Structure 1
Amino acid sequence: MTDRSIASRPSLEQVIAIVDFMEKHPALGLGQMRGLEKRDECKKLWFKLTKIVNSLGGPNRPMKSWVKYWADKKSTIRSKVQSSNGDPNTLSSNIEKKIWDLFLANDSSKDRSSVKQESHYMDESFYNEDSGEHQIESEPVLTFEEPMVDLEERQMLVMEKLVKIMGDQANALSQLAHASHVNAQAMERLAEASQIQARAVERLATSFEAIGTSTHDVRNAMVDIDSTMKRFYNTSPA
């Protein structure tokens, strides 16, 4: 494992996996698995989490690195809330808000750093005891600076905004489709009205044609009457 892979930032997928795992094992997430009776169980859970997180897209780190990352992450979130007068709504991502709600909101030791609170996890003997598969986690760990998390948070914010934009776009497309449907119905009604108007004009034209025919018949009748009258008077005796 290279120094670069240890020091690189966790991916969003890895951070989500850590939070989901801690939600399933709240005692581990809260740093409450203390004492000799819990030590082996705690070690097994961290080893399991390390295998899960290292199998995802992102850096591969030894177990101690992930323990420190989790402690530092909680410490950073706690500091952000404290610096904003205890208002968790100022947290910049849903993941940070979830960590606050699950592991920090009811934490009675909010004024201590999470690294100190979970110092029993950072003890070298925690990793170097002769305990089988956990022995592999004795690799040295680099110090992680919290500013590295800023990029991760910005990435999460960008993804959240992207999801919102895609949702707005879907709503706009839905509204456009509805407007197109309404327009199609209006055009259909207009076509029906045009057909009714055309039939009315056709009937009116037929009526005018009938009137014209009747007028012609009346004119012919008048001519016949006139011719008859003329013949009658011309044949009368003097």
Structure 2
Amino acid sequence: MQQIWDEVGESDSDRDKMLLQLEQECLNVYKRKVDHAVKSRVFLLQTLADARVELSNLLSALGEKSYVGVPEKTSGSIKEQLAAIAPALEKLWNQKDERMKEFSDVQSQIQKICAEIAGVSGPEESPAVDESDLSLKKLDEFHDQLQDLQKEKSERLHKVLEFVSTVHDLCAVLGLDFFHTVTEVHPSLNDSAGVQSKSISNDTLARLSETVLSLKEDKKQRLKKVTK
């Protein structure tokens, strides 16, 4: 640089100005590099903190106290710590997705049977899953609830079929149209509907009971007339 200035004939004052300018430019570049490094460090630290929080939240939601593969001690650079946590996070996210599907499935079945018992059409949308509690304990509670409902559904269906059979026999004795009589109670009670498709609602059971009582009373009155 000195040789170039000598050849050009730059004055000492101009040379000093140029040197100061170069120093300032170098300093500015250095500051920008430092600022970038600081921001990068802050970003990585925040990412690491977020990853640890996410890890903790996932373990809590899944009801896990610990997880194999999660580093217990923090050591190494920030990037190394992130790299150590990443595989565990990936596995836990996948585990959460699978658990969500299990919850959604069992809750949908519960929702469907509850709707059948209530005699209403089930909602088209899947039930909301509480992502804060995806523990196996909670899942078992839903499975227990589903088993109870399935048992109740089976018992109700058995009662419905018994009532329908009784209605059939009484209609045969009284010379009444069984199909017309039973479908007046509920359209699903005709023979063409599958067993699992028959209504098991409180209203259907109550109306079947009333129908049986009415037919029995009709039969009783007819017998009285015959015996007179």
TM-score range, shorter chain: under 0.3
- TM-score (normalised: structure 1): 0.26
Question: Which has the higher Rg, Structure 1 or Structure 2?
Answer: 1
Q: Which has the higher contact order (CA 8 A, sep 6+)?
A: 1
Normalising by structure 2, report the TM-score.
Answer: 0.27
